[in-house]
Amino acid sequence: MSAALPKLAVRDLHVTYRGRDGKDVEAVRGVDFEIADKPGIGEIVVFLGPSGCGKSTILKAVAGLLPASRGEVLLDGKKVDGVGRDRGMVFQAYTSFGWLTVRQNVEYGLRLQGIPPERRREEAEKYIAAVGLADFADKHPKELSGGMKQRVAIARTLINKPKLVLMDEPFGALDPQTRWGMQGLLLDISAKEDNTILFVTHDVSEAVYLADTVFVMAPRPTHVLHRVDVPTFERRDLALKSSPAFRDCEKQLLDLLYAKA
């Protein structure tokens, strides 16, 4: 019997794009990795590396927002060619439509698909409740905090049931308390929604807390330096972050990040 296809395979990915100054920027060079298909198991894969190294460029290539200069991205064995509903992306910047309510924002993708209003509302209310915004469904984005706006973006992404959820430092602009709450929300969503989540961060503690697998990335042009499988912690809560096992994993990643070439 042949081995099962990976959920995602990135092979010899190179990405060079034209910068604002008109010069070519080589952001990604020869990135190779696979993420196994694990039906019924929510999985979070983190790309950890210094700011500006090219982590976000990898996500945009997987999303189909940036073309590969060389190599390929395969989702369930099929080559990615442009954007598609099988991938959903949550950016660091808040991307809600200001003239729509929370419910209307979350329903937006279903409306584009022609889903009937009754079903749209039923689905939207389920995901709005899942991200803790049931009492704010009729509010507009200007009435929400930063953390609430990101909850809207997450719900709007999940309602389309993508095979991959791509998250580009989505909690980077949040205060520590809100960020902690959003990390817990993401873990809950991963377990309940059976999503494969690709998450970009330069925060080592966040990587250890969220990830099942961490890819440690090189400075630009980025490539994979190391793959680290994070221990399966019995519980992921605030006390975990001060535990010896958590600190050991943090130290391992820091040593890999800052090891001299």
Question: What integer pLDDT is reported at residue 260 of this predicted model?
Answer: 54
Measured in whole angstroms, the distance separating CA 196 from the mean position of its chain's CA atoms is 9
Q: Are 13 and 31 in contact (CB under 8 A)?
A: yes
Closest CA to 9 of 65, 82, 76: 76
Rounded to an integer, what distance in angstroms lies between the CA atom of residue 75 and that of residue 154?
21
**Could you report the per-residue pLDDT of 123-152, keeping only the tens digit for each?**
999 999 989 899 999 999 999 998 899 999
Mean pLDDT of 211-223: 95
Domains of the chain, by residue range, sit at 8-86+163-258, 96-161
In this predicted structure, which of 151-160, 189-198, 209-218 has the lowest mean pLDDT?
189-198
Q: Are 16 and 185 in contact (CB under 8 A)?
A: no
Q: What is the mean pLDDT of the chain?
A: 91
pLDDT tier for residue 92 given thresholds of 50, 70 and 90: confident
pLDDT tier for residue 96 given thresholds of 50, 70 and 90: confident
Higher per-residue pLDDT: 173 or 199: 199
Please state the pTM of the whole predicted model. Answer: 0.91
CATH class label, 8-86+163-258: alpha beta
Rounded to an integer, what distance in angstroms lies between the CA atom of residue 79 and that of residue 173?
33
**Phi/psi at 228 (5° precision):** -125, 125
